[in-house]
Structure formats: structure tokens, C-alpha cells
Amino acid sequence: MKSIEDIMAMAQNVQAELTKAQDGLDKIEVEGAAGGGLVKVRASAKGRIIGIEIDPSLLQPSEKQMVEDLVVAAFNDAKVKADAASGAEMAKMTSGIPLPPGFKLPF
């Protein structure tokens, strides 16, 4: 069995690596789309919205409700992709750490 000092050192290393990984998530970009690509939202894997692109064909007063719905759908698509990218990066970080089933980091 490892000593408490070894366990504490390992925990500090894990915390440092998690902080580094969290910072890296803001550099990973994902793109959510709706309406067959008529509305696109770019976001970081951390969930920060970087940009929105709306096809000019939608910019008509009669299309207002549809554009609003497509923007919401594109945001949600980007969020799902950001969560997936974040989960994949965190899985890389925790792959070598023996965690109990169902235990997730960060705490």
C-alpha cells in the first residue's frame, strides 16, 4: 500500500493536470448547426460561444421565428458537441487513474 505522502503527491499531480486540461478545453472548437447548416454556432469545448453564422437567405422579417428556433437548435447542437469534446479530453486525463466506478473528476 502506498504511503499517505505518495497519495497526496499523486492527488496534487492530478489536480495540476486537471487544471491544465480545463485550460486546454477553451482552445478546442466545435461547431453546432441547424437547418441543414443555415445557422451555425462555434463554441469552445468549455462551452464559450465564439461565433454565430446565419445564412443571408434567412434574414427576412417573415422568417424571424424560424431563425430564432434555428439559433436555439444550433446552440444546443454546439453544447452537445462541446460536452462530448470535454468528456473525451477528461477521459484522456483520467485513463491512468484507478477511480471507483461512477466516480468523476473534477470533484
- pLDDT for position 99: 59
Global confidence as pTM: 0.62
Amino acid letter, residue 2: K
Phi, psi angle pair for 33, to nearest 5°: -140, 155
Helix orientation angle between 4-25 and 64-94, rounded to the nearest 10 degrees:
150
**Tens of pLDDT along 60-87?**
999 889 999 999 999 899 989 988 888 8
The list of the chain residues with pLDDT below 70 reads 1, 94-107
- pLDDT for position 102: 61
Query: What structural domains does the chain harbor?
Result: 25-94 (3.30.1310.10)
- Other CB atoms within 10 A of residue 28 CB: 16
Distance CA 96, CA 71 (A): 39
Cis peptide before 106 (omega within 30 of 0): yes
Helix (H, G, I), strand (E, B) or coil at 94: helix
